[in-house]
Amino acid sequence: MSKTMNTKRKAKKCRQIRAWLYETINKYAGPDAGWIQSHISNCPRCQLRLAGVGRVHLALAAIKSQPHRLELLKNANTQAISVLKHSLRDAPKAEKLRLIQPEPKLLERANIYKRPLANIAACIAILILVKIGVFSSMAKFQAQGQQTIKQYYAAQLGEDLTNEIFTA
């Protein structure tokens, strides 16, 4: 029992240390650190790069939030690569990224068959229901229900009025 308690304490301590490290790094070297903000406000080159990164983040957010065409990934990669320095833009992997397109998932590819398959399934269900006699049973239930209502009206209104209602 004490081993599990000791393990839990160590895990908790580890989480606390990681959280403290994350907060400390963000405070002194994160994007909100004073010296970084001061540098960006005075450096036009960093301002341009930061604006480019902002556009990439905005484009990626737009991609995630909406249905998109397949070539959109290629366009987003091209824009992201244009922000990189020249030596990285001309790298073989950068060219590969410019041309890459996502492959639709299996369910997306099968989506074009959804409606025809649903129609086939509906036809098979109707055939099965006809074969086991559900529709003929429904006709019997309807006839019995109509007979019951006719008897109710006959008891309440009389035979003459009931015949006029149900023959019309």
Cα–Cα nearest to 56, from 76, 30, 71: 76
> Which pLDDT does position 144 carry in this prediction?
85
Per residue in 89-125, pLDDT (tens digit) is 777 877 777 777 667 677 777 778 888 888 899 889 8
- pLDDT at site 68: 59
The secondary structure of residue 112, as a DSSP letter, is G
Instruction: Assess if residue 108 is contained within a domain.
Output: no
Contact 54, 60 (CB under 8 A): no
Residue 124 lies in a domain: yes
Which pLDDT belongs to residue 155?
86
Same domain membership, residue 67 and residue 34: no
76 in any annotated domain: yes
CA distance 9 to 114: 53
Q: What is the pLDDT of residue 58?
A: 81
Higher pLDDT, 143 or 102: 143
- Cβ-Cβ contacts under 8 Å for 49 (sequence gap 6 or more): 83
The single-letter code of the amino acid at 167 is T
Q: What is the pLDDT of residues 17-36, one digit of tens each?
A: 988 988 888 788 777 788 88
Q: pLDDT tens-digit profile of 38-90?
A: 888 898 998 888 888 888 788 777 766 666 566 666 777 777 777 777 777 77
Mean pLDDT, range 139-165, rounded to an integer:
84
Q: Name the residue among 87, 91, 92, 61 with its Cα closest to residue 76.
A: 61
Task: Tell me whether residue 109 is in a domain.
Answer: no
Do 82 and 118 lie in one domain? The reply is no
Is 26 inside any structural domain?
Answer: yes
* Global pTM value: 0.30
Verify that 124 and 156 share a domain, yes or no. yes
**Predicted pLDDT of residue 49:** 85
Residue 22 buriedness (CB in 10 A; 0-12 / 13-18 / 19+): exposed
Both 80 and 99 in one domain: the answer is yes
Number of domains in the chain: 3
Burial 35-46 (b: 16+ CB within 10 A, else e): eeeeeeeeeeee
Predicted confidence at residue 154, as pLDDT, reads: 86
- Of the pLDDT bands very low, low, confident and very high (cuts 50, 70, 90), residue 2 is low
Q: Which residue segment(s) compose the domain that 93 sits in?
A: 51-103
